[in-house]
Amino acid sequence: MEMQWLRTFADAAETLNFRKTSERLMLSQPSVTVHIRQLEEYLGIRLFDRVKNRVVLTEEGHHFKYQAGTLVKKFDSTVDELHSFAQGYRRQ
């Protein structure tokens, strides 16, 4: 599983709009669709229902939304902490 897939899912779950997600993450809209499809294939579950030009979270997608957001935040804070450590900061 790629962190970018989780980041894309977390944003798309918040906006429920792949175009807005592509703008916010500076990705092409087809890349957003591919990330979501790859994540769904990896997990073996459908996270979004596609209805005409709209997307809505499935029940599984609602459940995973919080978990994905938590993972992305933890990853980002870990990377920030590592950069601080590498720069010589040893205390909060």
- Reported as a single tens digit per residue, the pLDDT across 59-87 is 999 999 999 999 999 999 999 889 888 88
Token code pair at residue 46: 């459908």
Query: What is the residue whose two structure tokens read 């916010």?
Result: 24
Quick one: pLDDT band at residue 89, thresholds 50, 70, 90? confident
pTM of the model: 0.85
Contact 35, 8 (CB under 8 A): yes
Token code pair at residue 39: 């994540």
pLDDT at residue 91, as a whole number = 66
Quick one: pLDDT band at residue 53, thresholds 50, 70, 90? confident
Q: What percent of the chain has pLDDT over 90?
A: 79
Write the DSSP symbol of residue 88: T
Query: What is the residue whose two structure tokens read 């429920």?
Result: 16
